[in-house]
């Protein structure tokens, strides 16, 4: 399935720079291409859905969005942005949500029990694996390897060794010219030790993890669905996490091979998925829709696409603003050469720009589409906005500032993001604007926890009913 996306990307790169799809000089992915990839993907998905041969996703009601969100029928999706050590920020938000679910359904409740799909890029991909990878429960059942409350302590323990703060800013800037700032050895060993031989197909819920293959110059999307249908995409979860975390200039690219048992192999040469989709929401929605189409489930296909009936319940979490709005200006950038774009005041401008552009473009497309269909309450994006910016021009904005003080600051950023008012992006200004009648992000998560709990309860009841009916048929009653 994701092969279609890869084919589309290869074709799209042949178009003009005016269309925003051609890479920067040297064939490397440019900022424009990264920022506008989401728009291409949206049009790609729309074109797929409008083909005559494609049926439409069915939802149990046709009386409008408000009436159509039938409990037990929604597709629940969690997506997590990339951002290096700033993964602590969504970790704090997820801890709050899981705690609310535990208050409703008991202490054993885990996020993987409630979300049909969890998608993450870069550090978000690592969090995705932590939430969805199976571990042994106390009663022998397969349960998630990590609880959400363990994410922040995990980063605080391993972050300083993944990003050792050995050099001054000048020395690290010079080193970045000659190679990655960090050798990545500790990250690779730690991830392999934690995840072992688990593959993408072993996850407890569906995962979607974007990466970018530098040899093919195209994105490669790893998903549970693909892993179960294509052995060559059923890579070790550890390899996928290492690949999607290999941020250019920070960590080395990652190469590995997969085998299908019939003599076929595939080689992957991966870097950080953030160069293509730092906010993985659009990728996740595309993969989900493609999966539903491919499944050809009769009861799911009819006249309307899923969004029109409020079929999706979507939570997207950012990793805070990368830098102050005024940190970069045309006047400053016009004087930079290669070194200036790679390092400026301890930051990596080229990385900041394409990550921010990619993430915001996706948020704009998803937000506007949900607003157009009058189901904006089904989409919650939790991200820092400029008026309330504890990351502004501080060390907290750096992807790799893994000092104890900064990591404590990041925990505080996550807590303050919960307190800030629900916002939605303004298409014209690109700014996040407060939504007056929806309260804080914490209030919105409390409401979402109730929805997720109701959704899971309805699904479990339906399954029990199906089992009872099957037993009755088997016994002749």
Say if CB 435 and CB 421 are below 8 A apart.
yes
Q: φ and ψ at 452, to 5 degrees? A: -65, -40
Spell out the domains of the chain, with CATH numbers in brackets: 75-454 (3.40.1090.10)
Helix-strand-coil split of the chain, %, nearest 5: 55, 15, 35
**Could you tell me the two tokens for 279?**
């906010």
255-271 burial: b if 16+ Cβ within 10 Å, else e: ebebeeeeeeeeebbbb
Say if CB 1 and CB 291 are below 8 A apart.
yes
Q: Which residues of the chain have pLDDT under 50?
A: 5, 7-69, 298-299, 301-303, 306-308, 388-394
DSSP state of 394: S
Catalytic residue among 122, 223, 316, 323: 122
Task: Name the pairing type of β-strands 206-213 and 117-120.
Answer: parallel
Q: How far apart are CA 468 and CA 477, in angstroms?
A: 11
**Whole-structure pTM value:** 0.79
Q: What pLDDT is attached to residue 197?
A: 94
- DSSP strands (E only) in 224-332: 254-259, 265-271, 301-302, 312-317
- Is 34 a known active-site residue? no
Q: How far apart are CA 431 and CA 152, in angstroms?
A: 28
Say if CB 433 and CB 424 are below 8 A apart.
yes
State the distance between the two ends of the chain, measured CA to CA, in whole angstroms: 42
Say if CB 94 and CB 317 are below 8 A apart.
yes
Q: What pLDDT is attached to residue 316?
A: 95
User: Which residues share a beta bridge with 268?
Assistant: 256
Q: φ and ψ at 144, to 5 degrees? A: -55, 140
- Is 226 a known active-site residue? no
Q: What pLDDT is attached to residue 31?
A: 44
332-352 burial: b if 16+ Cβ within 10 Å, else e: eeeeeeeeebbbbeebbbbbb
Q: φ and ψ at 359, to 5 degrees? A: -65, -45
Catalytic residue among 113, 202, 213, 272: 272
- DSSP strands (E only) in 330-382: 379-382
The angle that helices 2-12 and 31-50 make with each other, rounded to 10 degrees, is 120
Q: How far apart are CA 234 and CA 240, in angstroms?
A: 10
């Amino acid at each position: 399935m994701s092969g279609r996306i890869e084919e589309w990307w290869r074709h799209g790169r042949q178009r003009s720079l005016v269309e925003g799809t051609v890479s920067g000089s040297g064939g490397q992915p440019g900022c424009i291409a990264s920022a506008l990839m989401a728009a291409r993907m949206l049009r790609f998905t729309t074109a797929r859905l409008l083909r005559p041969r494609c049926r439409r996703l069915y939802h149990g009601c046709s009386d409008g969005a408000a009436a159509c969100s039938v409990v037990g029928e929604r597709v629940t999706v969690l997506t997590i942005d990339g951002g290096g050590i700033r993964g602590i920020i969504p970790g704090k938000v997820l801890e709050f949500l899981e705690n609310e679910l535990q208050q409703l359904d008991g202490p054993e409740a885990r996020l993987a029990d409630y979300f049909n799909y969890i998608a993450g890029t870069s550090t978000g991909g690592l969090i995705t694996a932590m939430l969805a990878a199976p571990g042994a429960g106390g009663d022998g059942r397969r349960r998630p390897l990590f609880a959400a409350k363990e994410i922040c302590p995990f980063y605080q323990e391993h972050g300083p060794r993944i990003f050792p703060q050995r050099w001054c800013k000048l020395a690290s800037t010079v080193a970045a010219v000659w190679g990655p700032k960090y050798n990545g050895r500790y990250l690779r060993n730690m991830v392999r030790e934690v995840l072992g031989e688990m593959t993408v197909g072993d996850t407890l819920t569906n995962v979607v993890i974007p990466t970018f293959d530098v040899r093919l110059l195209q994105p490669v999307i790893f998903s549970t669905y693909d892993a179960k249908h294509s052995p060559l995409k059923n890579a070790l979860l550890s390899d996928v996490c290492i690949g999607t975390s290999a941020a250019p200039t920070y960590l080395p690219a990652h190469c590995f091979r997969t085998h299908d048992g019939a003599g076929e192999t595939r080689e992957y040469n991966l870097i950080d998925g953030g160069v293509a989709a730092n906010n993985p929401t659009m990728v996740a929605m595309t993969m989900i829709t493609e999966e539903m189409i491919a499944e050809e489930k009769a009861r799911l296909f009819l006249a309307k696409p899923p969004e029109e009936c409020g079929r999706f319940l979507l939570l997207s979490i950012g990793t805070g603003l990368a830098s102050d709005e005024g940190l970069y200006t045309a006047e400053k950038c016009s004087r930079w050469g290669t070194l200036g774009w790679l390092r400026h005041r301890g930051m990596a401008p080229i990385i900041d720009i394409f990550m921010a552009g990619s993430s915001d473009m996706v948020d704009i497309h998803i937000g506007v589409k949900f607003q157009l269909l009058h189901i904006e309450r089904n989409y919650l994006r939790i991200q820092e906005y400029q008026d309330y910016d504890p990351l502004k021009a501080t060390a907290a904005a750096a992807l790799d500032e893994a000092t104890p003080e900064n990591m404590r600051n990041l925990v505080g950023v996550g807590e303050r993001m919960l307190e800030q008012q629900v916002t939605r992006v303004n298409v014209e200004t690109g700014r996040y604007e407060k939504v007056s009648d929806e309260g804080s992000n914490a209030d919105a998560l409390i409401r979402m926890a109730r929805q997720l709990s109701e959704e899971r309860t309805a699904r479990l009841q339906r399954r029990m009913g199906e089992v009872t009916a099957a037993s009755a048929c088997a016994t002749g009653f």
